């Protein structure tokens, strides 16, 4: 995997998630799933959050596994940019 200029900048967060919507032009909605043990009870608690990411070439589709990186505000909701599509949906 070649390092992109966006991914090599120190201090930027990266997230991996599944695309749940690609209806808007150059924008995807990504669901980030997290499973962590509860601090007291130890039970695995699953949480998810959704974020909007910029997809310049409209290359990601619904169900794809993608990596996004934090960036400057691109619109009222978009704060993330698509780096790569890790796995295409079947």
Strand partners, 33: 48
Decide: helix, strand or coil at residue 26. coil
Left, alpha or beta for 74 (phi > 0: left; psi -120 to 50: alpha)? alpha
Domains in the chain: boundaries: 5-87
5-87 placed in CATH 3.10.450.30: no
Residue 31 has pLDDT above 50, yes or no: yes
41-81 residue pLDDT tens: 999 999 999 999 999 999 999 999 999 999 999 999 999 99
Residue 1 has pLDDT above 80, yes or no: no
Strand partners, 69: 14, 81
Give the side-chain half-sphere CA count within 13 A for 52.
13
Q: Is the pTM of this model over 0.75?
A: yes
């Amino acid at each position: 995997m070649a390092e992109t200029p966006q991914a090599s900048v120190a201090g930027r967060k990266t997230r991996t998630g599944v695309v749940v919507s690609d209806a808007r032009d150059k924008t995807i909605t990504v669901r980030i799933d997290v499973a962590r043990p509860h601090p007291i009870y130890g039970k695995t608690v699953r949480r998810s959050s959704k974020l909007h990411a910029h997809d310049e070439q409209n290359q990601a589709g619904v169900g794809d596994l993608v990596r996004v990186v934090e960036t400057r505000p691109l619109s009222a909701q978009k704060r993330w940019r698509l780096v790569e599509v890790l796995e295409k949906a079947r």
